[in-house]
Structures are given as C-alpha cells and as structure tokens.
Amino acid sequence: MKIIGALALAAMAATVSLPASAQFAKAEDAIKYRQGALTVLGSHFGRVGAMANGKAAFDAKSAQESAEIVAFMAKLPWAAFAAGTEGGKAKPEIWKEQAKFQDLAKKSEEATAKLAEASKSGNLDQIKAAFGPAANSCKSCHDAFRNR
Amino acid sequence: MKIIGALALAAMAATVSLPASAQFAKAEDAIKYRQGALTVLGSHFGRVGAMANGKAAFDAKSAQESAEIVAFMAKLPWAAFAAGTEGGKAKPEIWKEQAKFQDLAKKSEEATAKLAEASKSGNLDQIKAAFGPAANSCKSCHDAFRNR
C-alpha cells in the first residue's frame, strides 16, 4: 500500500501541474496539514455555534473574529487531499468522487464566507441565519467523506 | 496532575476575563488546536523557505499566498497556551516565563507580517531579506519553549 501511495505521489508530481499549495513531501504531511487546518476551523466554528445556539453569551467581536478565522481556514484543507494522500479519517470515496468532493468543499467555502460576512453586522440573528447553512455544508461533506 | 490541571482551568475560567479565543473545553483541545495551527503555519513557511533558499523554483503568486497564510496563522496559537493547557511538545517554561513567551510570540507575529508584506512585492530578494528574521523568530521560541 505504501509503495502504491509513493508511486501515485511520484506520478502526480511528474505529470500534473499543481499549485505549490497542493504540494507535500509525504502523504503523512498532507494528512497532518488538513487535520490541523480542520481542527482550527472546527474550534472557531464551535465558538460561533455556541453563540448561535444560545449556549454561550453573544460577544459580537469574538463571533466576528472566529467567523473570519473559519472562512479563512475553509480555503486551506482541500489542496491537501491530492492524489496519493489517502489516509487519516478520509474515506477513499474522496479520490473516487472528486467532482462531488470539490463541489462540497466549494460550498463550505461559500457558506463560511457568508457567515463571516454576517458576523460583521454584529447582529446575532444574522449570524444565526448564516450559521445553519454553514453547519450543513460541513455536515454534508463529513457524512459523505469522513470516517467516524 | 489531572485534577490540578482541571482546577487551574476552572480557576482561570472563573476569575480571568479572557477573550473567547482563549477558551477551550479541555486541555487536549487546546493542544490539538495549537499543534494544528503550527502545522499549517510550518507547512507554508517551509514552502516560502524552499523558494528563499533556492531549493524550489520561485513562484511569486505561490510565495505570496503562503506568506499570507503564515502571517495569519502566526496570530492563532498563543491563546491556546492558556493556564491549565500544559502538554504536547510545550515545555513547562512557557507557563513559568509568560512574559518571555508572549514577547517571542509577538515577535513571530511581527516578523511574519513583514514577510507577508515583502511577498507582495513579487521580489525574491525582498522575500529572502524578510525570511531570515522570521525564521529566527520561530527558532528563538522553539529553542526556549519546545521539547524535541
């Protein structure tokens, strides 16, 4: 399996013109990177969610700060799911259904960008309205592509 | 030890007015968060470094993209070293020498902000000039506060 992974990675490096952002020396590095990015994303998303769901006091500045971090982080993980980086909690389906995966990733970027935009209003109702679709965009991708 | 950590955390939550960005339910969450943020930071810093050191072809757009991610990520980890979150690769000195730690963290933020600024020029020499101080700012903190 490791040999196949290495060959896939070598083939990718040799034949595909990827942006530098998609390049990792080892599959393990890509896995650590995407898990790290999603951990940071999830932490801040949870903080916004706690406020949106009334489980934490609403603090407009903190909500905006976290929502902007979420939107920034939501752009990062996808390039780290390149061919040859199978592993971690990622289901093999990611590499078999690339179009669907990329579509869901893009929807997450869009939904979290809207959440960040809403957070600038300082209005909890606007944040709540944008939080639901963002949470659903995470869930759709996790349901399809993440092992529990 | 776990009880002491929990008590420290409870005391912190009760008595200190921290920004929400510094709050984690468990020490383990803070450790995963800061390691995740530093992994993403390190990955992009390595890409800029490879170009600055002539080990990768210079791509101005990619260098700027990575340098901006580095500068963004450099703001995140420090709030996740709050009292009661000892562990991971972090040396206990972090919590004994908070002034020094916070000073080095701030210097990293500043040096990476300058690197991001330099990367906007699209000029490799300017990037090289800003990369050295940024790398040193990482090293100073790692030497003092990170276990190998």
pLDDT tens, B46-76? 999 999 999 999 999 999 999 999 999 999 9
Q: Write out the two tokens for A8.
A: 């896939």
For chain B, percent of residues with pLDDT exceeding 70: 85
Cα gap A147→A73, rounded to integer Å: 21
Contact at 8 Å (CB) between B69 and B40? yes
Report the number of distinct structural domains present in chain B.
1
Does the beta-carbon distance from A72 to B72 stay under 8 Å? yes
Residues of A with Cβ-Cβ distance to B34 under 8 angstroms: none
Residue with tokens 């679709």: A133
Does the beta-carbon distance from B62 to A24 stay under 8 Å? no
Tell me, what's the pLDDT at A23? 77
A36 domain-assigned? yes
Does the beta-carbon distance from A20 to B76 stay under 8 Å? no
Q: Which of the 8 DSSP states describes residue A10? A: H
Cα gap A133→B130, rounded to integer Å: 41
Chain A nearest-CA distance from B103, in A, is 22
Cα gap A136→A133, rounded to integer Å: 5
H or E segment to which residue B3 belongs: helix B2-15
Categorize the per-residue pLDDT at B14 as very low, low, confident or very high, splitting at 50, 70 and 90: very low
pLDDT means over runs of 10, chain A (148 residues): 47 41 83 98 98 96 98 97 96 97 98 98 98 98 96
Name every residue whose Cβ is closer than 8 Å to that of residue B72 and which is 6 or more positions away in sequence: A72
Tell me, what's the pLDDT at B23? 77
A1 domain-assigned? no
A88 domain-assigned? yes
Chain A nearest-CA distance from B17, in A, is 13
Q: Write out the two tokens for A120.
A: 């600038």
Q: Which amino acid type is present at position A45?
A: F
Report long-range pairs for A4-10 (Cβ below 8 Å, ≥24 apart): A5/A84, A5/A86, A6/A84, A8/A83, A8/A84, A9/A83, A9/A84, A9/A85
Chain A nearest-CA distance from B71, in A, is 12
Greater pLDDT, B35 or A25: B35
The backbone torsions φ and ψ at residue B138, rounded to the nearest 5 degrees and listed phi first, read: -65, -50
Tell me, what's the pLDDT at A148? 87
B16 domain-assigned? no
A7 domain-assigned? no
Taking any CB pair shorter than 8 Å as contact, residues of chain A touching chain B are 19-21, 23-24, 29, 32-33, 35-40, 43, 47, 56, 59, 62, 65-66, 69, 72, 76
ipTM of model: 0.85
Quick check: B116 pLDDT over 80? yes
Find the closest chain A residue to B18 by CA distance.
A62
Residues of B with Cβ-Cβ distance to A43 under 8 angstroms: 24, 29, 33
CB neighbourhood size of A115 (10 A) = 29
By residue range, what is the domain housing residue A92? 27-145
Taking the C-alpha atoms of B19, A127, A77 and A43 in order, what is their torsion angle to the nearest 10 degrees? 30
Chain A nearest-CA distance from B54, in A, is 15
Averaged pLDDT score across all residues of chain B: 89
Name every residue whose Cβ is closer than 8 Å to that of residue A66 and which is 6 or more positions away in sequence: A44, A45, A47, A48, A119, B20, B21
Average pLDDT over residues B10-32: 64
Which domain CATH number covers A138? 1.20.120.10
Tell me, what's the pLDDT at B13? 43
Cα gap B10→B4, rounded to integer Å: 10
Task: Please choose, from the candidates A53, A111, A104, A105, the residue with its C-alpha nearest in 3D space to the C-alpha of residue A76.
Answer: A105
Contact at 8 Å (CB) between A141 and A77? no
B52 domain-assigned? yes
Cα gap B63→B47, rounded to integer Å: 7
Quick check: B20 pLDDT over 90? no
B103 domain-assigned? yes
Does the beta-carbon distance from B20 to A76 stay under 8 Å? no
Does the beta-carbon distance from A39 to B43 stay under 8 Å? no
The backbone torsions φ and ψ at residue A146, rounded to the nearest 5 degrees and listed phi first, read: -115, 130
Does the beta-carbon distance from B21 to A72 stay under 8 Å? no
Tell me, what's the pLDDT at A11? 43
A60 domain-assigned? yes
